[in-house]
Structure 1
């Protein structure tokens, strides 16, 4: 079995390499304009969009595993530029269903003869996805939806996961060290995620947990699973039809208040993420429906996630800081969550956040939206670059997709306003104020203690300085290798000067035999060339700024 998987993986590797070869050639030429020589070439945003579309087509051609990979990449602004994120965000997990005869084999291997288990079973799939497909049936007299794993998908996924792992060293040649680390983490994360999504036993467990968290809430409907007709590759659940949540015309015909619907959807996800710690992570319109009474139906819990209490607290602090336009609070929260490096230039990041919020809120301070802020943060994340914890990346994706759905329902919908109101109602803002007061009091106590401890220490230090035995240890942080390049230049100058002087002396004192002077000159030329390159190089001794206001303006214009 292992040999067959390896053989299939080798074959798939060749197919994947062929499919991505145009992009590989393009990225290679970006590093060296003419492959073996020449400087880097600049890639403008239009070219990035074109390449992103090529990547999208390639992912669709390569099938289920790579479609899922593209969806995951669309949530990782720490790995891909914004243009790629925008294009891949449109990637829908919607592919033709497999033949019934193949799906039947999976069903009967899990549950037994189809007609013996179900009262009725419609052989035409009502929806198809990359990893599974859904059929309508009747079980114990009740209408049900039966989700069946796509036939043969396990072997294909395992082979593709090996291909992805084998491809990492090649891909890492075209990206920086920080993104290379993120990409390796992404590969591990993707392998875990896609295996979990193929396990319908886990999906049923997550579905039941989230369903229990909303028990008695009439605003939300989650299908009830049937244990006796479910297994690792088959999930049978209550059939809950409804109008697609993005079909505003049909919703208006039902008389549904779309603003109220958007607010309820927002609050449902806030409860999942902030209170419950377990959430439905794929809220695109195909997985959300609305019934006649206005309740929201959730489908497909294969992609779901958990948030640990620490991240929950930090998300609350982030929302409150954004609502209060507290730049320092936003940066502190991002650092504590691990999204922003503590070594990042805080002043630069403050400028970025100020510009992002100013750009997002427009003329009316109360109308800015979280999605606009996140888009600006995503651009900054790619520029630095930074890493996103896995579940935080899912939360980021959920926030943007949910807000997109809410704005489709109501163009004037204010995500931040609803979130702020929700946090106030649940007492989170009061708890945060109390925490700030406690921290301020603690800081005051520490300051008072320092006022007592510092004077004696200062007096001892001044005494040592007066006696002349005060020493300092200084560590220079040379991230741009300035001293290294300066040392090389000095060395080249020394060799060139020595060579030139030797050539002049030999030519002057041995005029009848020019060969020694020529040899000295030839030996000096390489060092002269290296010295020329050292001064000609654009990197020079200048530090490269991580981010500037002009960068952000250019990105907006592009």
Structure 2
């Protein structure tokens, strides 16, 4: 981890940050102590001439990261989802990062495809274009299937990208060690854990089978969503280093002139993008976490088409219910209920005062709801909410941070299509629908039925378990006080059976 390569990478990173003017911005955003500031300047300033220039038209931090290469670009994109680490302002700056890089030659892509398919290219594809898009990890070619003639998109990993990322990740660990050593107070931000999170995300993106699986799951979840499409995965033409999807015709959601020329209703598209994101997050607990304009198209029939499934978010059912109740509480301005939900979920320590917390939440909601409808932001509200909850002792929940960050991006997409959109008016029916189906008597019956199904799996073993409990009860351990566990266990079995019976009865009546 601390070899010559990594030390050189550390020096080059510092020099590039100095040369591009990014060093001061980063140290300020991280509230770095004096020891780190001095060390960073010592590492960067004397070697400034070794640093990379980057694109002067880009803001300093994105400029430095882009100049340093694919791993740094991807790291910046991941950090843009972690305002709890870099601060909200820096997270916003990092969101402008684009990983558009020069493509590698078509001939190299062909070699990758033939090696992965263990067959000549023309046996699988009758056409295979030059690159149509290139990013830090892979690039995309338009192709046509040899057997059916259907157009497809073939995503191919950059040759040697795994090794290059592995080297840079090792250098990131050295930088994290360096920061933690010089500033023990920085450990509250867990720099090495942040690098480990980045490593996990990138290692998944470097295996295109995982992205294909995400696309397949997302397509299955959204198959009945009217006005929304996910390209079909060609499983037999996908592997670790290549992925094949149905080709998606359409215009990018960022091309407003083309959307207008084709006669699509931009207001309807804006509402659909926002509502679909919320529906996927709440209903499915699995959502596209990189829904910027570059990953969304408008099909000729007006459907919204999602692309690029490298970054997906997942939240469990309980968290979804909590999230929905929090949103509905704010929509209704019921700050007391929002506070109670936080306490019921265990997000805020029980020794805090519910009334004081509700008062703090009012300070979050009222200024936002007092804005003009076109400026009301759900993402901004969640950001303020996390600041308040942190003051009341709530620990950072990374799944909600990712949700909040994606919400900001989706709101930006919606407003670009319809500057006058009222985010809360559009969101309300989706949240209300979810609450109706998942919170209350109907949800309780469904939960009981699920519990009964789980308990039913133990049905064949219940006689044995009951017999073992009775034998243990009639033959208590010698020289020790008889354990009350068998008796409790027997009560547990009886309780489980009663719960199952209650659930079945509820289902009938």
What TM-score does the superposition give when structure 1 sets the normalisation length?
0.67
Alignment partners' CA distance in 1, 2:36 and 2:125: 63
1:464-516 deviation line (CA, Å, top 9, x unaligned): xxxxxxxxxxxxxxxxxxxxxxxxxxxxxxxxxxxxxxxxxxxxxxxxxxxxx
Does residue 119 of the first structure (1) align with residue 116 of the second (2)? no
Does residue 103 of the first structure (1) align with residue 99 of the second (2)? no
Residue 289 (structure 2) aligns with:
281
Greater gyration radius? 1
Does residue 320 of the first structure (1) align with residue 323 of the second (2)? no
Of 369, 378, 391, 2:377 maps to 369
SS in 2 for 1:91: coil
| Cα 1:225–1:433 shift into 2, 3 Å | closer
Of 2, 9, 12, 1:12 maps to 9
| Cα 1:161–1:362 shift into 2, 3 Å | same
Which 10-residue stretch deviates more, 324-333 or 53-62?
324-333
Of 75, 93, 108, 2:99 maps to 93
Q: Map residues 387-398 of structure 1 onto 2, 5 A cutoff.
A: 387-398=395-406
Once the 2 structures are TM-superposed, how far is the Cα of residue 327 of structure 1 from its aligned partner? 2.5
Once the 2 structures are TM-superposed, how far is the Cα of residue 101 of structure 1 from its aligned partner? 3.3
Residue 231 (structure 1) aligns with:
239
Does residue 76 of the first structure (1) align with residue 79 of the second (2)? no
Does structure 2 retain, via aligned residues, the 8 Å contact 1:317–1:333?
A: yes
Alignment partners' CA distance in 1, 2:351 and 2:138: 44
1:25-62 deviation line (CA, Å, top 9, x unaligned): 884996279959xxxxxxxxxxxxx9x94332221112
Alignment partners' CA distance in 2, 1:337 and 1:92: 37
Alignment partners' CA distance in 2, 1:79 and 1:67: 17
| Cα 1:380–1:184 shift into 2, 3 Å | farther
Count of residues in correspondence between the two structures: 418
5+ residue gaps, structure 1, are 37-49, 437-558
Once the 2 structures are TM-superposed, how far is the Cα of residue 266 of structure 1 from its aligned partner? 1.9
Residue 417 (structure 1) aligns with:
425
Residue 265 (structure 1) aligns with:
273
Does structure 1 retain, via aligned residues, the 8 Å contact 2:71–2:165?
A: yes
Alignment partners' CA distance in 1, 2:323 and 2:234: 35
SS in 2 for 1:121: strand
Once the 2 structures are TM-superposed, how far is the Cα of residue 119 of structure 1 from its aligned partner? 0.6
| Cα 1:168–1:344 shift into 2, 3 Å | farther
Alignment partners' CA distance in 1, 2:352 and 2:92: 26
Does residue 219 of the first structure (1) align with residue 227 of the second (2)? yes
Does residue 54 of the first structure (1) align with residue 57 of the second (2)? no
Does structure 2 retain, via aligned residues, the 8 Å contact 1:339–1:388?
A: no
Alignment partners' CA distance in 1, 2:430 and 2:62: 38
1:77-105 deviation line (CA, Å, top 9, x unaligned): 21122221221121123222223233333
1:353-372 deviation line (CA, Å, top 9, x unaligned): 33332221225689733133
Does residue 138 of the first structure (1) align with residue 144 of the second (2)? yes
Once the 2 structures are TM-superposed, how far is the Cα of residue 339 of structure 1 from its aligned partner? 6.4
SS in 2 for 1:126: strand
SS in 2 for 1:279: strand
- Could you say what the CA RMSD is over the residues aligned between the two structures, in angstroms? 3.5
SS in 1 for 2:139: strand
Alignment partners' CA distance in 1, 2:88 and 2:375: 24
Does structure 1 retain, via aligned residues, the 8 Å contact 2:347–2:395?
A: yes
Alignment partners' CA distance in 1, 2:441 and 2:220: 32
What TM-score does the superposition give when structure 2 sets the normalisation length?
0.73
Does structure 2 retain, via aligned residues, the 8 Å contact 1:119–1:138?
A: yes
Which 10-residue stretch deviates more, 342-351 or 272-281?
342-351
SS in 2 for 1:78: helix
Alignment partners' CA distance in 1, 2:140 and 2:329: 43
Does residue 31 of the first structure (1) align with residue 34 of the second (2)? yes
Alignment partners' CA distance in 1, 2:181 and 2:346: 25
Does structure 2 retain, via aligned residues, the 8 Å contact 1:189–1:390?
A: no
1:368-393 deviation line (CA, Å, top 9, x unaligned): 33133134346557889975333222
Alignment partners' CA distance in 2, 1:369 and 1:211: 28
Once the 2 structures are TM-superposed, how far is the Cα of residue 217 of structure 1 from its aligned partner? 3.3
5+ residue gaps, structure 2, are 40-55, 445-509
Residue 546 (structure 1) aligns with:
none
